[in-house]
C-alpha cells in the first residue's frame, strides 16, 4: 500500500490542491485504489486537525484486513471510530461489499471530509458507508438506537493522550455487539503517554479483555517498510515509530 500524488478531477490546474489546501493522493489497498485529500505540512504548514492526514497506523490496519480476509467475513456491520480521512472504513467497505460500514469522527470538519471521500470512491447509486459525527462517550444510547451495535470496530491512531483512552474504550464496550467473535481492532504508534500498564488498568476498569497481535514477522510486513516515495504516507514507518495492534473484546461472561 502506497500513496502517490495525482492530479484529481476538481483539482486540475491547481497543482493538485483543493480549496482548503489539501492534496489529492491515491492510496493503494490490495487491488483497490482509494482517493483522499491529505494535508502535507511541508507544503501547507502546520497541521491543525490530525484527521486531515494519512497516518501509518491506518496503513497497518488496512493491510491487516486485506491479508486476513477472515476478519471481515464474520462481521455483518463495521464501525470506524475517529476515522480521520476514512481510509480504513472505505477499505473495509470495498473489501466486503455486503458488510454494512459506518464511519465516524468527532470533528464536523473531518466528517465533511470523509463524506467527500465517500462520494469520490463510490459510484453514484452504489452502496457506500454511512458517515456520522460521534464524540466518544456522548449520545451512545441514541446512537445505538439508530444504528445498533457492531461486530467489528476499527480505530487507527485514535488515542491522542492518556485521557482519551477511557472514553474510547467506553465507546467500544457500548457499541460492540454481543457476538462471541465481536472485537475492536486498534492500531497505534507506541508513545510515552500510552504505556502498557495504562492500557492494562483502563481495560480492567472498562471491563474489556485484550490481546496484542504480532505483525512484524508476517509475510506482508514489508509493505510497511519506508520507501523512497516522496509522499507523506511512507515517511513515517516502523523505522520511525513502533506500531502496535490490539484486539479488544468483551469477556464471554459479560
State pTM to two decimals.
Answer: 0.85
Higher pLDDT, 15 or 221: 221
Rounded to an integer, what distance in angstroms lies between the CA atom of residue 144 and that of residue 71?
Answer: 23
User: What confidence tens digit (pLDDT) does each residue in 38-63 have?
Assistant: 876 555 444 455 556 677 889 899 99
Handedness of CA 232, 233, 234, 239 (dihedral sign): positive
Higher pLDDT, 190 or 231: 190
140: left (phi over 0), alpha (psi -120 to 50) or beta: alpha
Can you give the pLDDT at residue 228? Answer: 45
Can you give the pLDDT at residue 225? Answer: 64
Rounded to an integer, what distance in angstroms lies between the CA atom of residue 41 and that of residue 8?
Answer: 19
Can you give the pLDDT at residue 55? Answer: 79
Domains of the chain listed by start with CATH number? 49-249 (3.40.50.150)
Of the listed ranges 6-10, 179-183, 237-241, the one predicted with least confidence: 6-10
Rounded to an integer, what distance in angstroms lies between the CA atom of residue 49 and that of residue 107?
Answer: 9
Can you give the pLDDT at residue 224? Answer: 76
Higher pLDDT, 67 or 53: 67
Per the prediction, the chain carries an average pLDDT of: 81
Of the listed ranges 53-57, 62-66, 185-189, the one predicted with least confidence: 53-57
Distances (CA, A) of 59 to 27, 155, 186: 9, 12, 12
Can you give the pLDDT at residue 153? Answer: 98
Amino acid at each position: 500500500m502506497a500513496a502517490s500524488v495525482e492530479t484529481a478531477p476538481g483539482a486540475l490546474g491547481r497543482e493538485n490542491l483543493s480549496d482548503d489546501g489539501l492534496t489529492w493522493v491515491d492510496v493503494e489497498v490490495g487491488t483497490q485504489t482509494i482517493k483522499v485529500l491529505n494535508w502535507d505540512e511541508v507544503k501547507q504548514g502546520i497541521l491543525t486537525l490530525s484527521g486531515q492526514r494519512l497516518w501509518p497506523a491506518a496503513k497497518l490496519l488496512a493491510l491487516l484486513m486485506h491479508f486476513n480476509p477472515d476478519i471481515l467475513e464474520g462481521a455483518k456491520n463495521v464501525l470506524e471510530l475517529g476515522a480521520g480521512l476514512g481510509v480504513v472504513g472505505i477499505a473495509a467497505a470495498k473489501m466486503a461489499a455486503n458488510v454494512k460500514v459506518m464511519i465516524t469522527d468527532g470533528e464536523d470538519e473531518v466528517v465533511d471530509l470523509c463524506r467527500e471521500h465517500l462520494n469520490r470512491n463510490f459510484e453514484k447509486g452504489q452502496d457506500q458507508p454511512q458517515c456520522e459525527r460521534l464524540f466518544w462517550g456522548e449520545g451512545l444510547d441514541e446512537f445505538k438506537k439508530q444504528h445498533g451495535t457492531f461486530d467489528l470496530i476499527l480505530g487507527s491512531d485514535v488515542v491522542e493522550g492518556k485521557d482519551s483512552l477511557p472514553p474510547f474504550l467506553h465507546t467500544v464496550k457500548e457499541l460492540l455487539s454481543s457476538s462471541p467473535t465481536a472485537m475492536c481492532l486498534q492500531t497505534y504508534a507506541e508513545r510515552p503517554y500510552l504505556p502498557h500498564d495504562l492500557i492494562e488498568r483502563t481495560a480492567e476498569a472498562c471491563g474489556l479483555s485484550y490481546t496484542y497481535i504480532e505483525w512484524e514477522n508476517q509475510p506482508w510486513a514489508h509493505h510497511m517498510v519506508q520507501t523512497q516515495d516522496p509522499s507523506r504516507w511512507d515517511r513515517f514507518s516502523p523505522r520511525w515509530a513502533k506500531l502496535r495492534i490490539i484486539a479488544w473484546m468483551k469477556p464471554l461472561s459479560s
